[in-house]
Amino acid sequence: MFSEKRLLDHGAVAVRHEEMKRVLTIAGSDSSGGAGMQADIKTITRIGCHAMSVVTALTAQNSEGVQGVYLIPATFVSKQIEALMADMVPDAIKLGMIFTASSIKAVARLVGKYGIPTLVIDPVLKSSTGSDLLEPGAVDVLRNTLLPLARVVTPNLHEAEVLTGIRVRNLEEMEEASRAIHALGPAVIIKGGHLQGESVDVLFDGKKIYHFRGPRIMSSHTHGTGCVFSSALAAFLALDHSLEKAAKNAHDFVRGAIKKAYPCGRGAGPVNPAGI
């Protein structure tokens, strides 16, 4: 067990079990354990919330890449969500890899039906090794059906380009893209881990631009950074942090996970949200 001091040192909150907030991750499974649902569960638990999960796809992958994807039918994705909503309504939902337009529509319908106020969308388009994780044609469905329901969306530079059609390679372009995405409804955090030089995340809440900066951490073991960021953000929002504070805490949490990353396999190793 982690001590309360160690939890608080990592920007997390120690709570009694009867007060524990619930965070649901709707995402794909990463058989290597570094990203996807596995990274989400580690992150949510580390921050002090109860992690729940709905599986959208199974992947056969290791540190070198994705060898295959087995899709969960949209009807069963819906069944998993309905089962939870009947008994354990989440305080926040983190949405990661969905892959199919039919599953996107099913999730949008249920989020609307149950009125979950805190939906964090990580618009996963490709794996870190370049494999497609969203079927062709599903981007428009994601943009038009789910983004308007989200409290915040967390694209990286490439994902922001796909969502907006705007070139996103520097801080000024990140700010322009964040405003364009916000026009669809949600607040926006564009992650700047792929920027040249300093790493900067940009938050636009509809009124103000915020920058969260940090010197680049030189590491080849960065598998799972996007998943950890979005699930950390969802957990901090579930704990009633303001969006600005939750974004700053998620930024710092990912930096800590990168600093404690480790090699595992022949490819890029995972970041370490468990903090051990």
Question: CA-CA distance, 146 to 189, in Å (whole number)?
Answer: 16
Catalytic-role residue among 45, 118, 164, 225:
225
Question: CA-CA distance, 15 to 142, in Å (whole number)?
Answer: 35
Catalytic-role residue among 48, 222, 256, 275:
222
191 is catalytic: yes
- Long-range contact list for 134-137, CB < 8 A, 24+ apart? 134/97, 134/98, 134/99, 135/99, 135/100, 135/101, 137/101
For the record, the structure tokens of 187 come out as 């607040």
Catalytic-role residue among 21, 42, 94, 191:
191
**Residue 51 is inside which H or E element, if any?**
strand 50-62
Catalytic-role residue among 226, 256, 269, 275:
226
Catalytic-role residue among 224, 256, 267, 275:
224
φ, ψ at 188 (rounded to 5°): -135, 135
227 is catalytic: yes
118 is catalytic: no
Question: CA-CA distance, 206 to 204, in Å (whole number)?
Answer: 6
Catalytic-role residue among 96, 105, 227, 267:
227
**What count of Cα atoms within 13 Å lies in the side-chain half-sphere of residue 232?**
29
225 is catalytic: yes
Question: CA-CA distance, 64 to 267, in Å (whole number)?
Answer: 5
Instruction: Provide the annotated active-site residues.
Output: 191, 222, 224-227
